[in-house]
Structure 1
Amino acid sequence: MYLARGSSDDPYVWLWVLGALALYAVISYGLAYRARARRGSSHPAKDAVHDLKDREDPQPPEYRLASRAIMFCGAGLTALAAYLTSGALRVVTVGLTALVAVTVWAWFDHRTRSRAAVQRG
């Protein structure tokens, strides 16, 4: 009889995958917190949590969709890198993948936020 098993013998691979996704949640909160603090919010932590739930959206829908697609693709690539590698290579690969994905995501959000401000104002 053939027993179904995961493709990896490493029992901690799912912790790495969940850690990569949790890292994206923390980074998303950090970016929202920084944006609220820069705008002069009296309660940036509370407002950042509300921003994560999309209470108010500072981006037009087409930019928001692209931003979320970049975010989820980056999280998926980071989780995939964690799943497919092991040992010290995993730490390096996950770190570099996450760094590149977050940089692309932040650059896109910064660039589209200034375009949206020009279009509104």
Structure 2
Amino acid sequence: MYLARGSNDDPYVWLWVLGALALYALISYGLAYRARSRRGSAHPAHDALHDLKDREDPQPPENRFFSRLIMLGGAGLTGLVAYLTSGALRVLTVGLTVVLAVAVWAYYDHRTQTRAAAQR
């Protein structure tokens, strides 16, 4: 009997993925909170939380393409850094690369989302 197995080099790969998604949500919330507080909102934390929930409007195709390109480029760069390093250096460099890539991705999505919202 054969068992289906994937590459199991790093058993914590799902934790890295979930951490990156949580970091994206946290950075997106921080950017929305900052934008709401600068606009003089009475409840910037509450409004920022609703802004994240109301992001269900689809992006224009060119914005979605560049957002996915940033996401995949960051993932590729993170994979390359993980491949080229080992030990404690790997954890440090992959962590920094993930934070940088997710911050760029969240910032791009925030900037394009606020431009679309301003045009309405």
- Relative to the length of structure 1, the TM-score reads 0.63
CA RMSD of aligned residues (A): 4.1
Please name the residue that 2:104 is paired with: 103
Residues matched between the structures, number:
115
Cα gap change, 1:19 to 1:94, in 2 (>3 Å): same
Return the offset for 1:81.
Answer: 3.0
Structure 2 stretches lacking a partner, 5+ long:
none
Q: 1:46 — aligned with what?
A: 46
- The answer to whether the 8 A contact 1:29-1:52 is kept is yes
User: How do 1:13-32 residues align onto structure 2 when only pairs under 5 Å count?
Assistant: 13-32=13-32
8 Å Cα contact 2:36-2:48 kept in structure 1: yes
> Are residues 49 and 19 of structure 1, via their aligned partners in 2, closer, same or farther at CA, if it must alter by over 3 Å?
same
CA 1:76 to 1:22, structure 2 compared with 1: closer, same or farther past 3 Å? farther
Contact 1:24–1:75, Cα closer than 8 Å, also in 2: no
Determine what percentage of the aligned residue pairs are the same residue. 52
Q: CA deviation at 1:72?
A: 8.2
- Residue 78 of structure 2 is aligned to residue 81 of structure 1: yes
The normalised TM-score by structure 2 is: 0.64
Structure 2 CA distance for aligned equivalents of residues 50 and 9 of structure 1: 39
Distance 1:52 1:94, change over 3 A: same
Distance in 1 between the 2:36 and 2:46 partners?
9
